Amino acid sequence: MPLSRRRRARIIRGVQYGVLVVAVVVLALVADWHQLRTAFFDVEVAKALFPDIITTALLNTILYTLLGFGFGLALGLVLALMRLSSVPPYRWLAITYIEFFRGIPALLVFIALGFGVPLAFEVALDMNVTVMLSLGLVGAAYMAETIRAGIQAVPKGQTEAARSLGMSQGRAMVSIIIPQAFRIVLPPLTNELILLTKDSSLVYLLGLALDQFELANFGRDALNEHKSLTPILIAGLLYLVITLPLGQLVRRLEARTAKAR
């Protein structure tokens, strides 16, 4: 007797659960739990990381991310307006910038600003300024396209209504269009904030003092010192402390936006 589609799906699902359970049991039986605990969950090593991993590494990660995001957001808004400009050279400049910085790795931008610019112009940039520019220049290319899409998503009737009230084109853009556009693009902008949080780990290329360490660099330095992966695990967990609430915020904003539509 042929099986019904529902029963066949139930059997397949049961087999998948069974395979998963068997894999977990086999892994639990063959794993060297003492070695795993020593390598990843060494309590003494974990205790030695605190409070510096919070007061220095976590705070620096947040600082670098906010500096890059703030600069990138401001530059991204300017680029988005240039991209929508009726003046061709502005559009060409914005497109060239966006395509260039979206096409090269953030790693190269850090190297160029951290080592190339000081050599070429004989200027010593402050470390925070270098991080802000490196993260911001890359982030702006992505945020510009996001903001542009948000501006274009605002109904044209909004602009016409503002102009009918006597507002200039610029005033209508600043007072009516851009605020609505930001409400639309808030979820993707929050995603960009998450990406910049992880990209902030590239700051290690600049050669940091101890009080400038961020989470990834702090974890790697502690790994070399303690010969244990526990610092890497804790650094990863602290990244999640930042990114998981932001991810939850993105989902809520997306749900709210979908409901508003």
User: 253 pLDDT band (50/70/90 cuts)?
Assistant: confident
What pLDDT score was predicted for residue 188? 87
pLDDT above 70 for 1: no
In the chain, % of residues over pLDDT 70 = 98
pLDDT tens across 169-221, in order? 888 888 888 888 888 888 888 889 999 999 888 888 887 788 888 999 899 89
Which of 90-94, 161-165, 189-193 has the lowest average pLDDT?
Answer: 161-165
Which of 69-78, 138-147, 178-187 has the lowest average pLDDT?
Answer: 178-187
Across residues 28-39, what is the average pLDDT? 80
What pLDDT score was predicted for residue 78? 95
pLDDT above 90 for 142: yes
Tokens of 249: 């915020």
CA distances (Å), 145 to each of 73, 84, 152, 194, 210, in order? 11, 10, 11, 17, 37
The per-residue pLDDT of the chain, averaged, comes to 88
Cα dihedral: 144, 108, 195, 187 (round 10): 10
Q: What is the DSSP letter of 229?
A: S
Tokens of 81: 């307006």
What pLDDT score was predicted for residue 72? 95
What pLDDT score was predicted for residue 260? 66
pLDDT above 70 for 52: yes
Stated as kind and residue range, the H or E segment containing 196 is helix 178-199
What pLDDT score was predicted for residue 93? 95
d(CA 255, CA 261): 10
pLDDT above 90 for 41: no
Burial class (CB in 10 A: 0-12, 13-18, 19+), 123: exposed
Domains assigned to the chain: 51-260 (1.10.3720.10)
What pLDDT score was predicted for residue 183? 84
Which residues have C-beta within 8 Å of that of residue 84, sequence separation ≥ 6? 91, 148, 151, 152
Which of 5-9, 66-70, 175-179 has the lowest average pLDDT?
Answer: 5-9
What pLDDT score was predicted for residue 184? 86
d(CA 234, CA 42): 11
What pLDDT score was predicted for residue 99? 94
The SS3 of residue 155 is: coil
pLDDT above 90 for 158: no
Can the peptide bond before residue 231 be classed as cis, meaning omega within 30 degrees of 0? Answer: no
Across residues 89-118, what is the average pLDDT? 92
- Higher pLDDT: 150 or 35? It is 150
